[in-house]
Amino acid sequence: MRLLIANGYLIDPSQGVKAGRNLLIEDGRVAGILNYSDDVPEGAEVFDAAGLIVAPGFIDLHVHLREPGQEYKETIATGAAAAVAGGWTSVCAMPNTDPVNDNAAVTRFIIEQAERAQLANVFPIGAITKGSRGEELAEMGEMREAGVVAVSDDGRPVPSAGMMRRAMEYARGFDLPVVDHCEDRSLAADGVMHEGVWSLRLGLRGIPALAEELDAWRDCALAELTGARVHLAHVSTRGAIEAVRRAKERGLSVTCEVTPHHFTLTDEAVEGYDTNTKMNPPLRSRDHVQAILDALSDGTIDAIATDHAPHHADEKALEFDRAPFGITGLETAIGLAFDRLVHRGIIGLDRLVELCSTNPARIFKLEGRGTLRPGAWGDVTILDPNLRWTFDARRSRSKSRNTPFDGWTFQGAAVATIVAGRVLYTHPSLEDRRRAIA
């Protein structure tokens, strides 16, 4: 099986490639980077990528697929379908399912379901503590054997510094990164949105920025103490970014991700009490959003991850106080990244690829991903920086529609998603781009 992605502009930061080249994929793997003038290899199907960017497959470090246990919100298959429709060739699945992915049996189940779906690659993340209850460490060794690529109690913070220290020491022994959801629950209490002018005005209980910042500082200090690989999930505050910046200056193995909603929206979006503006961490004030944009452009932020968190319409139909935290994000992330970051000059195209592919692969040590080196997996994301399109949540591949971006129009999209040489998604604008060569 041969696929030639022809006439595109290749951007692969992992090998410093930024040039017009053809990409050849053979039997699921990258076989080579060719010149436009080279002969089309015998029997290759040609995908014409003229005018498009060809990048190593995008990897989302943070999604919630809800299977096992809450298949009415999402399944591994529907989540993986939404992923490829959004340009993601791989997603990393958080363990807050029911049961929690805190043992090898659940890990193996997730991998089997993903293989059955034959869509995006799914890399499971195991729990840090049993049931993510924060009391007893989970069997990280067994889960690693079964295929987890990181550990996290996402959805909940690890409650004490002592427990986090032991978790980091244990995870370090298995060379697994510890992904932390930073939230000091004694400060966050029963808050439902960012604490500030808008929470006052709307009469909603606030979550102070400090709830995230305290845990971020704690985890950076513990990264130094333990030497563990530490990755901060969904950072949303100036202070958390400052903690990461300092940790990096000290040479610690600390990385972080931001979500598209946190670089796009402020807490003002909560004004209409739309529960699709309720997520954890909450939408922050303008000053925090500015800090995120600065950190995206100066390199402090390593990755863009969606924190795709599907919930059923009936749950989101409750009043703001009672609705669950979380929004979907797989299909709007790249549109938002183009609109809000690339076209506003905050990042360039190569940095976009770094944030969505090169760095995520490095952070979770995903072998043969995030690169188009010969021998790597033939996972490719094709981008059209100029395509104008409108997101219609009713046509989402996800089972859930809890998004604040329904009806938004974007300039820029992922227009084709290729996993191991199989073209799994193409935007309708690309019909006629594929032809088989006899």
Ligand X SMILES: NC(=O)N[C@@H](CC(=O)O)C(=O)O
Which position among 21, 73, 144, 181 is part of the footprint of Zn ion (CB under 5 A)? 181
| Catalytic-role residue among 153, 180, 267, 307 | 307
Q: Is 311 annotated as a binding residue?
A: yes
Closest CA to 396 of 67, 62, 86: 86
Q: In the structure encoding, which two tokens stand for residue 120, read together? A: 């995006």
What minimum distance in Å lies between the beta carbon of 274 and ligand X? Answer: 14
What minimum distance in Å lies between the beta carbon of 83 and Zn ion? Answer: 15
Please tell me the distance from the alpha carbon of residue 287 to that of residue 292, in angstroms, as a whole number. 9
Residue nearest to Zn ion (CB): 181
User: How many amino acids of this chain bind Zn ion (CB under 5 A)?
Assistant: 3
- By CB under 5 A, tell whether 261 contacts Zn ion: no
Closest CA to 216 of 245, 240, 194: 240
Q: In the structure encoding, which two tokens stand for residue 85, read together? A: 């429709």
Please tell me the distance from the alpha carbon of residue 303 to that of residue 308, in angstroms, as a whole number. 15
Question: Pick from ligand X, Zn ion, none: which does 70 bind, CB < 5 to 8 A by kind?
Answer: none
- By CB under 6 A, tell whether 326 contacts ligand X: yes
Please tell me the distance from the alpha carbon of residue 418 to that of residue 380, in angstroms, as a whole number. 5
- By CB under 6 A, tell whether 172 contacts ligand X: no
Q: Is 65 annotated as a binding residue?
A: yes
Please tell me the distance from the alpha carbon of residue 35 to that of residue 211, in angstroms, as a whole number. 52
- Region near Zn ion per CB under 5 A, out of 216-224, 245-253, 304-312, 376-384: 304-312
Which position among 67, 154, 267, 384 is part of the footprint of Zn ion (CB under 5 A)? 154
- Region near Zn ion per CB under 5 A, out of 153-161, 206-214, 296-304, 347-355: 153-161
To the query of whether residue 307 is one of the catalytic residues in this protein, the response is yes
What minimum distance in Å lies between the beta carbon of 379 and ligand X? Answer: 25
Which position among 64, 172, 288, 433 is part of the footprint of ligand X (CB under 6 A)? 64
Q: 64 or 340, CB closer to ligand X?
A: 64
Q: Is 384 annotated as a binding residue?
A: no
What minimum distance in Å lies between the beta carbon of 149 and Zn ion? Answer: 15
What minimum distance in Å lies between the beta carbon of 158 and ligand X? Answer: 12
Which position among 309, 355, 380, 420 is part of the footprint of ligand X (CB under 6 A)? 309
- By CB under 6 A, tell whether 60 contacts ligand X: no
- By CB under 6 A, tell whether 182 contacts ligand X: no
Q: In the structure encoding, which two tokens stand for residue 5, read together? A: 């992605």
Show which residues are catalytic: 307
Annotated binding site for Zn(2+): 62, 64, 154, 181, 234, 307
